[in-house]
């Protein structure tokens, strides 16, 4: 089985000769940029450079998928957010379009043609052509909760979700169409699966808020977007994995704040799990022995796609990601694991 097929099979918890290795979020480090000769911010703004750096996830690190949208601001830039694209050692940051939930906000008609969307769409097309027969090509979109933070500002959006929930729901319905349109465009360019990132972490969003504002929307996204979806939420999500399970989404990319065995128990039989390896403790600071031990434990409890919990810290050594990929393939390929 090719790496691509192993990854896509594992997204459905299917049988494969080994576990998959992958990430729904960025695996770029500064030493990987040096190795490939492409750095931030160019890799956010130039489709050829974006594709080249993303391809290294497969060709250099040995992951079974590639994912070129390294930042969280692409479609938000296309919606009108002013974005500082950062530099080699810093991820981009952006500013909201509106200051109040009552400000008029229109989704620009041609937002898919703005560079924020057009660049990653072109990069996905290049990746499909260059590595798409071997590695799974994964796109990324943000859900309407995160887009709401970006368009209206985090504080304004959160306060409004408590005081004026109907207004928030109204905006989320409109932003949902942005998520669907960007996802459909990514599928047209060759994405095999899509990361759906929504920053509804416990610090900012209670389990009841997830249930009332988001579970239905994530279910609708699953029904409308015609490819497997990988939901990514940072932080401790143990109080909402049961709601996520009910959305029907294929896979959940989880943070190590949820112990892997607990995540597996909460996810049940159908929801595939990706990630769970700590970015600081293991990916940045771990020795090869610690990485192997972490991988072995995640395999033992039934994590389907081994990988980092979230976007890898830029100052992590990429050798550790190679070690993780090698360990996952070696340990899961042993007959005793099946
Ligand atoms: Zn994250």
Of the pLDDT bands very low, low, confident and very high (cuts 50, 70, 90), residue 281 is: very high
Share of the chain above pLDDT 90, in %: 93
Is the distance from CB of 111 to CB of 79 less than 8 angstroms?
yes
* CA 304 – ligand 1 centroid, Å: 18
Closest by CA position to 230, among listed 320, 152, 141, 322: 141
- State the pLDDT at residue 213: 82
d(CA 189, CA 133) in angstroms, rounded, equals: 14
- State the pLDDT at residue 212: 84
pTM for the model stands at 0.96
Beta-carbon neighbour count of residue 45 at 10 Å? Answer: 15
- State the pLDDT at residue 334: 63
Mean pLDDT of the residues in the chain = 96
**pLDDT, tens only, 128-186:** 999 999 999 999 999 999 999 999 999 999 999 999 999 999 999 999 999 999 999 99
* CA 234 – ligand 1 centroid, Å: 4
- State the pLDDT at residue 208: 87
3-class state of residue 90 by DSSP = strand
Is the distance from CB of 276 to CB of 260 less than 8 angstroms?
yes
* CA 283 – ligand 1 centroid, Å: 14
> 208: burial class by Cβ within 10 Å (0-12, 13-18, 19+)?
exposed
Closest by CA position to 139, among listed 192, 198, 78: 192
Q: What is the CA radius of gyration of the chain?
A: 19
* CA 334 – ligand 1 centroid, Å: 31
Residue 231, beta-bridge partner list: 196, 252
**pLDDT, tens only, 228-259:** 999 999 999 999 999 999 999 999 999 999 99
Between 207 and 304, name the one with better pLDDT.
304
Of 7-11, 23-27, 139-143, 330-334, the one with minimum mean pLDDT is 330-334
Q: Provide DSSP, 176-215.
A: HHHHHHHHHHHHHTT-SEEEEE----TTTS-HHHIIIIIH
**pLDDT, tens only, 284-328:** 999 999 999 999 999 999 999 999 999 999 999 999 999 999 999
Q: At what angle do helices 144-152 and 154-163 cross, to 10 degrees?
A: 110
d(CA 93, CA 102) in angstroms, rounded, equals: 24
* CA 335 – ligand 1 centroid, Å: 33
* CA 195 – ligand 1 centroid, Å: 11
- State the pLDDT at residue 337: 42
- State the pLDDT at residue 338: 40
> Look-up: residue for tokens 């409308």?
224
Q: Residue 173: which residues within 8 A CB-CB, separation 6 or more?
A: 144
d(CA 204, CA 223) in angstroms, rounded, equals: 26
């Amino acid at each position: 089985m090719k790496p691509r097929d192993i990854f896509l099979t594992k997204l459905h918890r299917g049988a494969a000769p080994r576990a998959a290795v992958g990430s729904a979020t960025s695996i770029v480090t500064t030493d990987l940029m040096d190795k490939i000769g492409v750095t931030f911010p160019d890799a956010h703004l130039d489709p050829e450079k974006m594709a080249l750096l993303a391809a290294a996830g497969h060709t250099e690190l040995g992951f079974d998928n590639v994912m070129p949208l390294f930042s969280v601001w692409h479609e938000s830039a296309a919606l009108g957010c002013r974005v500082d694209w950062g530099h080699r050692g810093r991820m981009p940051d952006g500013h909201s379009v509106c200051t109040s939930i009552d400000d008029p906000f229109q989704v620009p008609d041609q937002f898919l043609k703005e560079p924020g969307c057009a660049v990653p769409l072109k990069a996905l097309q290049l990746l499909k052509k260059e590595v798409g027969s071997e590695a799974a090509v994964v796109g990324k979109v943000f859900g309407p909760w995160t887009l709401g933070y970006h368009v209206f500002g985090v504080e304004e959006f959160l306060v409004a979700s408590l005081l004026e929930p109907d207004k928030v729901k109204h905006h989320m319905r409109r932003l949902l169409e942005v998520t669907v349109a960007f996802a459909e465009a990514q599928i047209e360019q060759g994405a095999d699966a899509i990361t759906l990132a929504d920053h509804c972490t416990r610090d900012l969003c209670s389990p009841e808020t997830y249930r009332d504002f988001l579970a239905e929307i994530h279910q609708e996204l699953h029904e409308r977007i015609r490819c497997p979806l990988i939901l990514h939420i940072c932080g401790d999500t143990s109080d909402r994995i049961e709601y996520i399970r009910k959305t029907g989404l294929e896979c959940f990319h989880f943070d190590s704040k949820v112990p892997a065995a607990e995540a597996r128990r909460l996810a049940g039989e159908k929801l595939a799990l990706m990630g769970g390896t700590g970015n600081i403790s293991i990916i940045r600071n771990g020795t090869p022995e610690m990485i192997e031990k972490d991988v072995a434990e995640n395999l033992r409890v039934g994590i389907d796609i081994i990988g980092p919990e979230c976007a890898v810290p830029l100052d992590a050594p990429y050798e550790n990601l190679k070690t993780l990929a090698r360990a996952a393939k070696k340990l899961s390929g042993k007959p005793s694991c099946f």
